[in-house]
Each structure stands twice: as structure tokens, then as C-alpha cells.
């Protein structure tokens, strides 16, 4: 028996920012967890010629974009990290189904 919602795909995750190094990623993860913000990290597909080996993208639910952006901005200003904000709809959820 299938319900009406079985076929429904929900993807309300947004790519918030690109993080270039491991230290910044760890600090951002800690700050998001301390503020009870759920996130996931999307790693680029590896290739032989890739120059961005440590670059990852942090994705959050669209309902917490502004809060997460504020937390990351304050953290980056305090610690001097360089991140690039993307704030675009993530396609990662499409790969899950």
C-alpha cells in the first residue's frame, strides 16, 4: 500500500556557502551545531585535474538561511575566514531518490 506522499520528493535545501579549507569548515560546523542548525556538506566530484581538493559546500534548510548566514558571517569576520556565499537551491536531493 502506497500513500499519497510516497511519490512526493521534497528538496528544500540550499547551498549556503563554499568553504575553502578544513579549519574554516570545522569552525563553521561547530557554530552551526551550537545553534542547532541542521546542515550537510556537499563535496565536489573528484577529478584528476581538480585544484580545489578541500573545497566543500555547506547546505542548509531554506527556513534557516538567514540565521545560518548571520552566524557564518560573524564567525568569518571574527576569525578571518574567507567563504563564498552562494545561496542557491541545491540539487543534492535529486541524487537521493
On whether the CB atoms of residues 73 and 31 are closer than 8 A, the answer is no
pLDDT tens string 9-31: 567 899 999 999 999 999 999 99
Is residue 88 assigned to a domain? no
Region 72-79: what's the mean pLDDT? 96
pLDDT band at 45 (very low <50, low <70, confident <90, very high): confident
Q: What is the pLDDT of residue 92?
A: 52
Q: What is the pLDDT of residue 97?
A: 37
Total count of domains within the chain = 1
All three cell numbers of 10, joined, read 521534497
DSSP H helices in the chain: 22-34, 65-79, 92-96
Is residue 39 assigned to a domain? yes
For residue 71, give its domain range.
34-43+52-83
Cα(32)–Cα(66) distance, integer angstroms: 12
Is residue 97 assigned to a domain? no
Residue 95's CB: how many other CB atoms inside 10 A? Answer: 8
**In the predicted model, what is the mean pLDDT of the chain?**
84
Is residue 38 assigned to a domain? yes
Global pTM value: 0.77
Amino acid at each position: 500500500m502506497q500513500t499519497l506522499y510516497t511519490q512526493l520528493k521534497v528538496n528544500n535545501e540550499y547551498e549556503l556557502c563554499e568553504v575553502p579549507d578544513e579549519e574554516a569548515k570545522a569552525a563553521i560546523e561547530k557554530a552551526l551545531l551550537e545553534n542547532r542548525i541542521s546542515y550537510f556538506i556537499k563535496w565536489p566530484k573528484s577529478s584528476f585535474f581538480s585544484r580545489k581538493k578541500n573545497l566543500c559546500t555547506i547546505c542548509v534548510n531554506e527556513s534557516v538561511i538567514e540565521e545560518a548566514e548571520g552566524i557564518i558571517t560573524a564567525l568569518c569576520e571574527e576569525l578571518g575566514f574567507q567563504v563564498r556565499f552562494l545561496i542557491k537551491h541545491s540539487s543534492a536531493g535529486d541524487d537521493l531518490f
